[in-house]
């Protein structure tokens, strides 16, 4: 439970950050626990995180601001291990270096600055720019579906259960408006909610001439096509088998016509 001083301080900071949010950053305390804050960082331009949506938490101690919060980023980013405590000078790894004058906005600006650097620490990971761009492209899907785990019927967002297995329920409970925007974005861009990948459309129909056959019964359609093919092959087969007879008939008719014409000129 927050101390009276911590409650008062965090209430004031929420009002401040709501009225004047830092660039690329949104944050608010949980409705049930003022010591549990949720933030969303939008990846800045000219970084591999551009367009990404990075959700995380700040868990403040009861004696804040005389001790720093635990900092986690839950959305996979290619920069931090998802949901792992981060060792930063502004986090609970270094309580002695924390300045009580620092506010929530100061902490989140520092986190964003560290994120866009390449400095390594406990909780950070190495990745290529291409990998980080891939994570950025899938971040909105991951937040709202829990990494696709929303399809599991037994998905539950229990206390502290902030991970892929919660089906995106925790994110939705904290960021309902952003969650609704994410689902609209997935529908518009035809994102497979099971995988986070863009769905591949079926090959377009052939533009060649189509048979005018009803599609009510596939077997009937095949039967009609087979009958046509058989008739055509039967006609071609008779011509092949009686080629000499046809040629002889043509020659006989030609000679007969020639004789008749010759007799008529006498």
Catalytic (active-site) positions: 87
Query: Left (φ > 0), alpha (ψ -120 to 50) or beta: where does 250 sit?
Result: alpha
Which pair of tokens denotes residue 176? 């309902």
DSSP label at residue 2: -
Q: Does a cis peptide bond (omega within 30 degrees of 0) precede residue 2?
A: no
DSSP label at residue 90: T
Tell me if 112 sits within 8 A of 148, measured CB to CB: no
Angle, CA of 63, 65 and 67, to the nearest 5°: 65
Q: Is 207 helix (H, G, I), strand (E, B) or coil?
A: coil
Angle, CA of 160, 182 and 15, to the nearest 5°: 60
What is the rounded distance in angstroms from the CA atom of residue 191 to the CA atom of residue 189?
Answer: 6
Dihedral of alpha carbons 78, 83, 85, 91, sign: positive
């Amino acid at each position: 439970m927050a101390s009276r001083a911590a409650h008062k301080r965090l209430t004031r900071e929420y009002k401040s950050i709501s009225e004047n949010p830092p660039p690329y950053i949104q944050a608010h305390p949980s409705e049930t626990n003022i010591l549990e804050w949720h933030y969303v960082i939008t990846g800045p331009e000219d970084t591999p995180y551009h367009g990404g949506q990075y959700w995380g938490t700040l868990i403040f101690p009861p004696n804040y601001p005389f001790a720093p919060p635990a900092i986690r980023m839950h959305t996979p980013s290619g920069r931090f291990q998802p949901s792992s405590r981060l060792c930063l000078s502004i986090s609970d790894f270094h309580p002695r270096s924390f300045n009580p004058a620092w506010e929530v906005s100061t902490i989140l600006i520092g986190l964003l600055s560290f994120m866009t650097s390449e400095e390594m620490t406990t909780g950070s990971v190495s990745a290529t720019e291409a990998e980080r761009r891939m994570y950025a492209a899938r971040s909105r899907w991951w937040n709202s579906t829990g990494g696709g785990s929303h399809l599991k019927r037994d998905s539950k967002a229990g206390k502290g259960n902030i991970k892929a297995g919660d089906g995106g329920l925790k994110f939705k409970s904290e960021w309902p408006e952003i969650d609704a925007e994410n689902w609209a974005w997935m529908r518009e861009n035809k994102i497979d909610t099971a995988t986070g990948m863009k769905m591949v459309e079926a090959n377009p129909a052939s533009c060649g001439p189509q048979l005018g056959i009803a599609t009510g019964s596939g077997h009937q359609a095949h039967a009609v096509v087979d009958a046509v093919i058989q008739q055509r092959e039967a006609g071609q087969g008779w011509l092949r088998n009686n080629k000499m007879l046809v040629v002889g008939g043509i020659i006989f008719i030609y000679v007969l016509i020639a004789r008749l014409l010759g007799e008529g000129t006498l």
